[in-house]
Amino acid sequence: MSKPASRLPSSLVLVGAGKMGGAMLEGWLAEGMPPQGIAVIEPRPSEEMARLCGERGVALNPKEPAAPEVLVLAIKPQMLDEAAKDLDALVGSGTLLVSILAGKTIGDLRKRLPTARAVVRAMPNLPASIGRGATGAAASSEVTEAQRLVADALLRSVGAVEWLPSESLIDAVTAVSGSGPAYVFHLVECLAEAGIAAGLPADLSQRLARATVAGAGELLFRSDLSAATLRQNVTSPGGTTAAGLQVLMADPGGLKALMRETVAAAKKRAEELAG
Ligand SMILES: NC(=O)C1=CN([C@@H]2O[C@H](COP(=O)(O)OP(=O)(O)OC[C@H]3O[C@@H](n4cnc5c(N)ncnc54)[C@H](OP(=O)(O)O)[C@@H]3O)[C@@H](O)[C@H]2O)C=CC1
Ligand SMILES: O=C(O)[C@@H]1CCC=N1
C-alpha cells in the first residue's frame, strides 16, 4: 500500500484570527489552499482580517461551518472555556483538532470538545508571520498518519516543524521557541540602550542594534556553522568582543544563568495555564 501524502486539508475552520491565527491563515493561502475551503471564526475581526477574507473569498463568521476536516484553535488559553461552549458543535467525529494554545493539554482540549478524538497540540512562534516560524508539535494516539501529515502541511506552511516524541515536552518548547522571539527582541532593546549609554544617539543605536540582531539571525539561518563557531568567528584574541563576552559569559552572573531562569519561568507559566 502506498504511504499517505502530505497535503493541506480540503476544509478548515480557524477559531481566533489574531496575531498567530492571522499569520497561519496567510501561510495557508500562500501555499495555495483553496480559500473557499476555509472559514474563520473571529468575533471582532481587525479591518485587515476582514479585508483579507473579503478579497480572497474566505468565509468570515459563517452561520454553519460544521464538521470541517480540520479545526484550528488560535484563541488565548484564557478564552478557551468561553469559546468552547459553541465549538464542540462544529467538530465532527472525523475532525482533526489542532491547537496552538499555550499550556492547554490534549486532555484539557478533549474535556472542552468531547467530540474531538484526534488532537494535535502545536506551539509555533511569531516569525510564522513571515513564513520563518519554528513549531513543536505532538499528536494524540488517535491521530492517523494521514491526519498527522495534514497537520504537518498546515504547520510547515509557516516555517519549520519538529514532531515531538511526547506531549510532555511542549511546555519546554513553548518556553524556548514559542516565547523565544520576545527574548531576542528584548536583546535588541538592551543592546540599543547600552549603545546610548556608550554615547551613541538613540536612533542610531536602535538602528544598529536591530540590524545587528537581524543580520546575526540571518547568518545563523543560512550558515551550517554552530552558534558557538559563529561566535568564535567574531571574537579576535585579545580584542573587543572577547572583552565584552567576558562580562556576558561570566559564571556566575552571566547570560547563561539568566536564560535558564527565563526559560524555567516561562515553562512554569505554561504548566500553570493547563487545566
Ligand atoms: N503570540 C505568539 O507569539 C504566540 C501565541 N501562541 C498562542 O496562540 C494563541 C493566540 O495568541 P495570539 O494570536 O497572540 O492572540 P491574539 O489575541 O492576537 O488572537 C486571539 C484572537 O482570538 C479572538 N477571540 C477571542 N474569543 C474568541 C472566540 N470565542 N472565538 C473566536 N475568536 C476569539 C480574539 O479576539 P479579541 O482580541 O477581540 O478578544 C483575538 O483576535 C494563544 O493561545 C497563544 O498561547 C502560540 C505561539 C506564539
Ligand atoms: O506568551 C504566550 O503565552 C504565548 C505563547 C508563546 C508565545 N506567546
Please list the pLDDT of the chain residue by residue as tens digits (275 residues): 566 778 999 999 999 999 999 999 999 999 999 999 999 999 999 999 999 999 999 999 998 877 899 999 999 999 999 999 889 999 998 999 999 999 999 999 999 999 999 999 999 999 999 999 999 999 999 999 999 999 999 999 999 999 999 999 999 999 999 999 999 999 999 999 999 999 999 999 999 999 999 999 999 999 999 999 999 999 999 999 999 999 999 999 999 999 999 999 999 999 999 99
Cβ 121 vs Cβ 150: under 8 Å: no
Question: If you take atom 42 of ligand 1, which residue's CA is the nearest one?
Answer: 76
Query: Ligand 2 pocket test: which of 99, 129, 170, 179 has the largest number of ligand atoms within 8 Å of its C-beta?
Result: 179
Looking at all shown ligands, the one closest to residue 171's CA atom is 2
Can you give the length of the chain in residues? 275
- Whether residue 261 lies inside any domain: the answer is yes
- Whether residue 7 lies inside any domain: the answer is no
Choosing from 146, 170, 194, the residue where a domain stops is 170
Domain that holds residue 165: 12-170
- Whether residue 230 lies inside any domain: the answer is yes
Cβ 177 vs Cβ 136: under 8 Å: yes
197 is in an annotated binding site: no
The torsion angles phi and psi of 122, rounded to 5 degrees, stand at: -125, 155
Give the CATH number of the domain where residue 73 resides: 3.40.50.720
Does residue 26 sit in the same domain as residue 126? yes
Record the cell numbers describing residue 228, joined without a space: 558557538
Does residue 160 sit in the same domain as residue 94? yes
Q: What is the pTM of this model?
A: 0.96
Q: Which atom of ligand 1 lies nearest, measured to the CA of 126?
A: 3
- Whether residue 1 lies inside any domain: the answer is no
Does residue 21 sit in the same domain as residue 132? yes
Q: How far is the CA of 186 from the centre of ligand 1 (A)?
A: 22
Q: Distance (Å, rounded) from C-alpha 162 to C-alpha 215?
A: 24
Q: How far is the CA of 217 from the centre of ligand 2 (A)?
A: 21
Record the cell numbers describing residue 71, joined without a space: 479545526
Q: How far is the CA of 98 from the centre of ligand 1 (A)?
A: 14
Across the chain, the runs of DSSP E, i.e. the strands, are 12-15, 38-41, 59-60, 70-73, 96-99, 118-123, 133-139, 159-163
Does residue 53 sit in the same domain as residue 22? yes
Across 178-226, the runs of DSSP E, i.e. the strands, are none
- Whether residue 2 lies inside any domain: the answer is no
Tell me, rounded to whole angstroms, the distance of Cα 242 from its chain centroid.
34
Does residue 166 sit in the same domain as residue 189? no
The number of domains in the chain is 2
Does residue 158 sit in the same domain as residue 200? no
Q: Distance (Å, rounded) from C-alpha 223 to C-alpha 232?
A: 14
Q: Which atom of ligand 1 lies nearest, measured to the CA of 174?
A: 47
